[in-house]
Chains A and B, each alone.
Chain A
């Protein structure tokens, strides 16, 4: 009888504590604004799990605290409690119910993942390149940007690759995260749903400057996207024309940063994964096979486009990916920049 009274009280308390905990969690505003179609099911699942967390928190905490208050030895009493060793039916119940819940959560989770991964065959593609420590976005129309512009309400498929180590593409407002793995192309589908400026932040530690590997992600209206897109195309054409005309060290320096050369090649003489560019031009470079070569324009161009052709002594072969996507004029810009590093 005594037990029945206790059970009724904790039953009521569990309900109250569950509800209070759940609304407490909601009041904390734990998720950033949702800016993609894919965020919706994820936030729905978060909400369901917040409910489960609140409930099970109460299920354990209420009887625990209740016992600590009411089931204590009285003053001067040092007797033991009742000799209850267990209750098989009860154990079966609290094994079976959680089992059913986790299986249900598994089914819901799989269904939820399906929604998140839903494919739109019309999705536009953008190539994402991650490197130590920056992002580059290559648009299929032939221009490259350091900001990721995306039109609102259209699914885009990001084809992602890494030049060096593992990185991870995460825009908290989009929720989803996907690693970039060297030697592999990983995919990331997203349908932005809210116009605004966000940031992609690298989420997998990638070396010393990991914290700063961030780039803007801008979601704009369809009209603004077309305008931006046309402007980029025009700029790319202009730059290509200019490069084709006369190589320029300034443009070369910009490419040095944007293309990720900076991660491995210093310009101040310090040693990196690759040889420094300082005083490189026309110097005599010892090769791994024991011969040596003069670092003239032909050698530099070959090393950019086909890095494994001649391996510098003391450096790993295959450490550097090919940069054959660069236009001839751009290669000349980079060489012009190397020439300027006396």
Chain B
């Protein structure tokens, strides 16, 4: 067994080798297709991205050998080629041109079939389907927790919810950095007027992908936090369906690869919304984007189903609905939305895909279709999904505030119900994205009312949080998780307060499709997800590893990110009000927005720097000594009553709920009690 350091050096060498080989391969393929060599092929993004794919493959191969993830990636590449060839063969038999050599080799149909077969091949290769195949053959499967020793278990199929939670979370951080990198590139372009570093097409592709990569990152991130925490918080040993849980995670990986592959296959110029008819005319990258999201949707739907069943069926004895930790309420509300709305965006994208591939004119007005119909289908998911993003984050805020205020959560039932209220009302507001879209005008006023209504349950949360802090004994030192919780509240407050002007129709007619909206939703996403996500990572990191993240670096992270973020979004809103449209690569110098945009770009880079501080903190801490195995936050929650890192089966003894979860300050009260096994039996 080689030492991790040797493996790591080998992995880095293979990473660099993979990049070079991929690039050369890309140039070679293009030379072969065109029949003539051209130096410009070395600048082609497709070749570079092929290099990135091989580099990552090489890196993981060096680290873990031909196992799990590496096997899945190889199978996905082979599956994609097989799918493409299948369509080429069918086209050949039909007497059609089998390949599209002038563009990307396979025809668009070939790439789409390849994408789907590749995704299935990935799942088979990684081993996410193995147990089900065995069942079909009547073979016995091992139950649960047969993971290999060491870090390698994170790179293959594991059925342990804690491993899957960490797999999700690390994937989410990776995608967060990819999406962030895209933003840094186009923010640089926006720092002054004119077009300096990007082509229009590259700007549009990066801007569009930034949106969707971040969305997938968030979906994966909340799945990570929910997966890791919920079974622990409700006293269960695992999720209800561990194999489905692993499947939900692993299907997100090929989905993310498909999404990113759109950059190599011509990109697309529609923004993350992909409105037809523009998306019908966009390059091949558009189809890969649609297929990628379609596949990712499965992850959301199945993960949500699993979570709901887990919460309904696997709670510890005595944990009635109103004695669940508040985060479980948030996770349940979020999963109800994911389970019921995700199909809509899958369907909407599938219809555009059918129009592109098969000529079915769903959104083609000249043939009786309707372009506005797409927007209804799209927003019926895409509005509720913002509540999918924020509800778990707001749940984290509600979960952590009592711990650091040393006082019960104020109005527990109201906060629990407000999550369900937001989820419900969230389904009734989608058309506020379409006030200027040309939809039936009389629909605008009812949607204005329903949208404004969201303010009521959201307000309940804010007031209850403030009341929780009021007269509390807030810990003398504000630990990093608490800082991120407070930052989340303030940022989300800005996001919430800038909502009503988008709800009242006449003001929205000015604001829609401007940077005001961009600023507004970045506030809601950062306040509702990013800040609480970091709070959760700092707070539960010791639970997962037995080591506490460095407080100084944590505070540096917070104090770098927060002010920069305020500058970024407040300036976005200002230029938006003054006439800056969304999704433009260049802006009119007459508007004199240059200094404002420069400040936003600098802020964006400072935020990126703060995330690097966080990553450095993780590396440093993981390498360091064990230092936090006990209940370091003095929490009443069950997961802190057993030593860290969490034992493989969570709780050796079943637990029983005997009191309220947040009774801080009540002498002699207990939330849970461990049941002695012998006595129990």
Known contacts: A45-B504, A73-B475. The answer to whether A28 contacts B574 by CB under 8 A is: yes
Inter-chain contact B412/A176, CB cutoff 8 Å? no
Residues 494 to 516 of chain B near chain A (Cβ within 8 Å) = 497-498, 500-501, 503-507, 509-510, 512-514
Say how far A261's CB is from chain B's closest CB, in angstroms. Answer: 16
B57 on interface, CB distance cutoff 8 Å: no
Stretch at the interface among A177-185, A218-226, A326-334: A177-185
A175-215 to B contact mask, C-beta < 8 Å, 1/0: 11111111110100000000000010111111111111010
Q: Which of B269, B359, B449 contacts A205 (CB 8 A)?
A: B269
Inter-chain contact B406/A61, CB cutoff 8 Å? no
B34-75 to A contact mask, C-beta < 8 Å, 1/0: 000000000000000000000000000000000000000000
Q: Which residue of A lies closest to B208 (CB)?
A: A205
Inter-chain contact A71/B665, CB cutoff 8 Å? no
Say how far A45's CB is from chain B's closest CB, in angstroms. Answer: 5
Inter-chain contact A68/B474, CB cutoff 8 Å? yes
Q: Which of B467, B512, B660 contacts A203 (CB 8 A)?
A: B512
Known contacts: A201-B579, A205-B278. The answer to whether A3 contacts B471 by CB under 8 A is: yes
Residues of chain B with a CB closer than 8 A to A81's CB: 405-407, 471-473, 664-665
Inter-chain contact A80/B470, CB cutoff 8 Å? no
Residues of chain B with a CB closer than 8 A to A90's CB: 411, 463, 467
Inter-chain contact A181/B438, CB cutoff 8 Å? yes
Residues of chain B with a CB closer than 8 A to A53's CB: 497-498, 500
B577 on interface, CB distance cutoff 8 Å: yes
Residues of chain B with a CB closer than 8 A to A116's CB: 506, 509
Q: Which residue of A lies closest to B494 (CB)?
A: A57
Inter-chain contact A82/B665, CB cutoff 8 Å? yes
Inter-chain contact B466/A67, CB cutoff 8 Å? yes
Residues of chain B with a CB closer than 8 A to A182's CB: 277, 365-366, 371
Residues of chain A with a CB closer than 8 A to B512's CB: 177, 203
- The CA-CA distance from A91 to B456 in the complex, in Å, is 11
Say how far A109's CB is from chain B's closest CB, in angstroms. Answer: 4
Q: Which of A77, A82, A318 contacts B407 (CB 8 A)?
A: A82
Q: Which residue of A lies closest to B200 (CB)?
A: A208
Q: Which of B364, B367, B506 contacts A42 (CB 8 A)?
A: B506
Residues of chain A with a CB closer than 8 A to B478's CB: 68
Residues of chain A with a CB closer than 8 A to B662's CB: 85
B670 on interface, CB distance cutoff 8 Å: no
Inter-chain contact B506/A106, CB cutoff 8 Å? no
- The CA-CA distance from A109 to B503 in the complex, in Å, is 9
B204 on interface, CB distance cutoff 8 Å: yes
- The CA-CA distance from A74 to B281 in the complex, in Å, is 65
Residues 431 to 472 of chain B near chain A (Cβ within 8 Å) = 436-438, 444-445, 448-449, 452-453, 455-456, 459-460, 462-467, 469-472
Say how far A41's CB is from chain B's closest CB, in angstroms. Answer: 7
Number of interchain pairs (Cβ within 8 Å): 284
Say how far B382's CB is from chain A's closest CB, in angstroms. Answer: 15
Q: Which of A64, A102, A201 contacts B453 (CB 8 A)?
A: A102
Residues 405 to 430 of chain B near chain A (Cβ within 8 Å) = 405-414
Of the listed residues A98, A112, A209, the one surrounded by the most CB atoms of chain B closer than 10 A to its CB is A98
Residues 72 to 113 of chain A near chain B (Cβ within 8 Å) = 72-75, 77, 79-87, 90-91, 94-95, 98-99, 102-103, 105-106, 108-110, 112-113
Residues of chain B with a CB closer than 8 A to A336's CB: none
Known contacts: A110-B448, A166-B277. The answer to whether A60 contacts B510 by CB under 8 A is: no
Q: Which residue of B lies closest to A214 (CB)?
A: B588
Residues 359 to 390 of chain B near chain A (Cβ within 8 Å) = 359, 364-367, 370-372
- The CA-CA distance from A240 to B582 in the complex, in Å, is 40
B493 on interface, CB distance cutoff 8 Å: yes
Residues 101 to 139 of chain A near chain B (Cβ within 8 Å) = 102-103, 105-106, 108-110, 112-113, 115-116
Number of interface residues of A (CB under 8 A): 86
Q: Which residue of A lies closest to B271 (CB)?
A: A205
Known contacts: A49-B501, A60-B462, A106-B449. The answer to whether A86 contacts B507 by CB under 8 A is: no
A275 on interface, CB distance cutoff 8 Å: no
Inter-chain contact B507/A102, CB cutoff 8 Å? no
- The CA-CA distance from A82 to B12 in the complex, in Å, is 55
Residues 537 to 579 of chain B near chain A (Cβ within 8 Å) = 574, 577-579
- The CA-CA distance from A331 to B269 in the complex, in Å, is 32
B91 on interface, CB distance cutoff 8 Å: no
Q: Which residue of B lies closest to A204 (CB)?
A: B513
Say how far A243's CB is from chain B's closest CB, in angstroms. Answer: 29
A170 on interface, CB distance cutoff 8 Å: yes
Residues of chain A with a CB closer than 8 A to B449's CB: 102-103, 106
Residues of chain B with a CB closer than 8 A to A77's CB: 473, 476
Known contacts: A63-B470, A211-B586, A318-B366. The answer to whether A83 contacts B663 by CB under 8 A is: yes
- The CA-CA distance from A3 to B471 in the complex, in Å, is 8
Inter-chain contact B472/A67, CB cutoff 8 Å? yes
Residues of chain A with a CB closer than 8 A to B664's CB: 80-81, 83
Known contacts: A64-B466, A91-B460. The answer to whether A75 contacts B476 by CB under 8 A is: yes
Q: Which of B277, B437, B438, B503 contacts A164 (CB 8 A)?
A: B277
Inter-chain contact B445/A91, CB cutoff 8 Å? no
A304 on interface, CB distance cutoff 8 Å: no
Q: Which residue of A lies closest to B578 (CB)?
A: A32
- The CA-CA distance from A128 to B204 in the complex, in Å, is 26
Residues of chain B with a CB closer than 8 A to A57's CB: 493, 497
A30 on interface, CB distance cutoff 8 Å: yes
B490 on interface, CB distance cutoff 8 Å: yes
Q: Which residue of B lies closest to A165 (CB)?
A: B278
A228 on interface, CB distance cutoff 8 Å: no
- The CA-CA distance from A205 to B501 in the complex, in Å, is 22
Inter-chain contact B500/A52, CB cutoff 8 Å? yes
- The CA-CA distance from A150 to B459 in the complex, in Å, is 45
- The CA-CA distance from A98 to B463 in the complex, in Å, is 11
Q: Which of A71, A91, A205 contacts B471 (CB 8 A)?
A: A71
Inter-chain contact A181/B408, CB cutoff 8 Å? no
Residues of chain A with a CB closer than 8 A to B438's CB: 178-181, 184, 186
B312 on interface, CB distance cutoff 8 Å: no
Residues of chain A with a CB closer than 8 A to B452's CB: 102-103, 105-106, 109
Inter-chain contact B473/A71, CB cutoff 8 Å? yes
Q: Which of B204, B277, B445 contacts A113 (CB 8 A)?
A: B445
Say how far B279's CB is from chain A's closest CB, in angstroms. Answer: 9
- The CA-CA distance from A263 to B411 in the complex, in Å, is 59
A323 on interface, CB distance cutoff 8 Å: no
B469-489 to A contact mask, C-beta < 8 Å, 1/0: 111111110100000001001
A46 on interface, CB distance cutoff 8 Å: yes
- The CA-CA distance from A56 to B463 in the complex, in Å, is 11
B331 on interface, CB distance cutoff 8 Å: no
Q: Which residue of B lies closest to A321 (CB)?
A: B366
Inter-chain contact A318/B497, CB cutoff 8 Å? no
Of the listed residues B459, B462, B465, B490, the one surrounded by the most CB atoms of chain A closer than 10 A to its CB is B459
Inter-chain contact A80/B406, CB cutoff 8 Å? yes
B524 on interface, CB distance cutoff 8 Å: no
Residues of chain A with a CB closer than 8 A to B409's CB: 85
Known contacts: A79-B473, A84-B410, A166-B277. The answer to whether A31 contacts B586 by CB under 8 A is: no
- The CA-CA distance from A24 to B86 in the complex, in Å, is 64
Residues of chain A with a CB closer than 8 A to B444's CB: 113
Q: Which of B277, B506, B666 contacts A45 (CB 8 A)?
A: B506
Inter-chain contact A110/B270, CB cutoff 8 Å? no
A144 on interface, CB distance cutoff 8 Å: no
A-B contact pairs, 24 of them (CB 8 A): A42-B506, A49-B500, A64-B469, A67-B469, A68-B474, A81-B472, A81-B665, A82-B471, A83-B407, A84-B407, A91-B463, A99-B453, A109-B505, A113-B444, A170-B513, A172-B510, A177-B512, A179-B438, A183-B366, A184-B372, A205-B270, A210-B204, A211-B584, A316-B359
- Supplied contacts A86-B414, A105-B452, 10 more A-B pairs, CB within 8 Å: A72-B475, A82-B471, A83-B664, A90-B463, A94-B459, A109-B507, A112-B504, A165-B277, A207-B269, A316-B359
